[in-house]
A and B are shown apart, each in its own frame.
Chain A
């Protein structure tokens, strides 16, 4: 059993949150399958994934509301796995806020402080209420507040206790779009001001990318990929991550040769190149991906901006205001999606012959079969 006294283990646990080989089974069903995570102190960390991927279960295990089947959780090097929720230096913002309906807002926020017998409750509570500009509602009951107000109270009720880690379980799910955007910025601001480690669980990839410093993409109990938003987006390691964060094209190609750190590929007889470092497989069969917004669309015969060039015919065009989404069919019947900003003066139409091009550095390579996996996971476009 790992304890805080095991020195070798302790050394790489850092000062933030560390999760080691954490698993949770519900009978036959494995919700969380032996995951490892290290979250630096003071960062905004997102657990992103579809429903049922285990992100909420993981969060609840950190909070102490679920017991792990195996594995350990450390905060600041200290093993908290055996502690009850009220013994842990964590606080949770619940999905439906869980504000105590029979207490005033003031008493709700003061609850944790009173249990810990902290001095000067009044000052601390009012300070927090002022942080979210709701001090005038201190004597109201939760049912008298709007959804957005309740959400902010839920956050400060947790924050006032200065936990080492703040856990947020899809806290913005019940809010309408405009309010959600507002709260995303608000939460980020609070986190930056207060400097506490935030662990934010969400299924909304835009939300995660907006708010988090680091994202862990989870699927079926595993962590698929972990990294900064821009890294996950530009260089996904699997079809799942590629499809979950935004949209992506995935086409099959063959590796012809490797020239230093450049891979030469053959796609429908066309020569394409990509950086070898961005390929996740060393096989001859590879599936390469390009994000639709990275592809430029030009008339045939015109000079092309990128080195990878493919010709095709437009088979669908959707005008979306800011951009137009084109679906282009290549000679070999592959269909590529292209997002083109509407800066051109001429409108392209279905049936037009066009040339698509992109920079090799924008290509990422996945193992063969990835597209089928993505389809099976119902995230392929």
Chain B
């Protein structure tokens, strides 16, 4: 093979870009792409979200400022007083929604954490099976599952009978949590909420825990930390992104839920969701329903913003 190779090193000469593609944007892998492609791909979904998510939020705001009735029709009167009315009138429900959701979130965290931990660190080859088992119950209808709790917590059912027999019922009665029965009490509603949102808490926790390098705990053992310290100083902080994700995914829907309340709670103690449902679908008082919805939405956004800021993680999607 001849080794003739003309070599010239680094001389500048004016050349025109030979390729017609030289100016256009490239896709992430360097494969040349047309500049407009992403916009076209995104357009249908974007339009859908614009019309059916952004726009409704605007109409929600607008409706909340309207007055009228079903017969007379509604007109935009900029009646800000609706907000005041709605907040003062339904403040108990409002508070109840957040309290129930918060308690349910904490309970879900306490229950889901060992579960997620077991799957992530102790399941070995059963891991995928266990994950499937966590998700499987949620293939039955949400409502049917909640009704099942009604069956379980029925006044004359075995569960409540056992509970009474152990004498715990007297304790909870005394604490004001139950009144001789479990159904139609806040306890039942919270239990229902906790149960229904358990996978939303478990899966993000699992993802976070699974990423933790097992070598870290071995190192902590080696450095004289006992199991509790190892957990508190290493596992817990590293699982925080999962904790934040899970608590958000649980709290947000729980605050707006009303199915659990309807099936398991008493009519005297409703949540914000029940009120909005009743206002919108039974009383047809759309302005109040809209106002209450917006207030709920804003309250949740504010709470979430404060929470995320304090937790310090911003990995949400």
Contacts and interface: CB of A to CB of B under 8 A. Distances in A.
B1 A21 contact: no
A282 B12 CA distance: 24
B7 A67 contact: no
Given A67-B26, A68-B22, A223 B32 contact: no
A81 B7 contact: no
A53 to B, nearest CB: 13
B4 A82 contact: no
Interface in A281-306: none
Contacts of B12: 21, 34
Interface stretch (A69-77, A100-108, A325-333, A351-359): A69-77
Interface stretch (A37-45, A118-126, A146-154, A336-344): A37-45
Interface of A: 1-2, 12, 20-21, 33-40, 42-44, 60, 65-73, 79, 81-82, 84-85, 213-214, 216, 222-228
A35 B13 CA distance: 10
B134 to A, nearest CB: 28
B17 A69 contact: yes
B18 interface: yes
B167 interface: no
A223 B22 contact: no
Contacts of B5: 37-40, 214, 226-227
How big is chain B's contact interface, by range?
A: 20 to 34
A71 B18 contact: yes
Nearest to B2: A40
A353 B250 CA distance: 80
Interface string B21-32: 110101001111
A82 B18 CA distance: 7
Given A34-B11, A84-B32, A68 B19 contact: yes
A12 B6 contact: yes
Given A43-B1, A65-B31, A38 B17 contact: no
Interface of B: 1-13, 15-22, 24, 26, 29-32
A33 B12 CA distance: 9
Given A39-B5, A81-B19, 20 more contacts: A1-B18, A36-B7, A36-B9, A37-B5, A37-B7, A38-B5, A38-B6, A38-B7, A40-B1, A43-B2, A65-B29, A68-B18, A68-B19, A70-B16, A72-B18, A82-B21, A213-B1, A223-B10, A225-B9, A226-B5
A222 B31 CA distance: 24
Contacts of B20: 82
Per DSSP, are chain B's interface residues mostly helix, strand or loop, or mixed? loop
A36 B22 contact: no
Contacts of A66: 26, 30
Contacts of B17: 1, 68-70
A236 to B, nearest CB: 13
Given A81-B18, A82-B20, A34 B10 contact: yes
Nearest to B29: A65
Contacts of A85: 31
Given A34-B10, A34-B12, A213 B31 contact: no
A222 B66 CA distance: 70
B9 A224 contact: yes
A215 B120 CA distance: 51
Nearest to B20: A82
Given A66-B30, A82-B20, A214 B15 contact: no
Nearest to B15: A21
Nearest to B16: A1
Contacts of B7: 36-38, 216, 223, 225-227
B22 A228 contact: no
Contacts of A71: 15, 18
A81 to B, nearest CB: 4
A6 to B, nearest CB: 11
B297 to A, nearest CB: 41
A224 B9 CA distance: 7
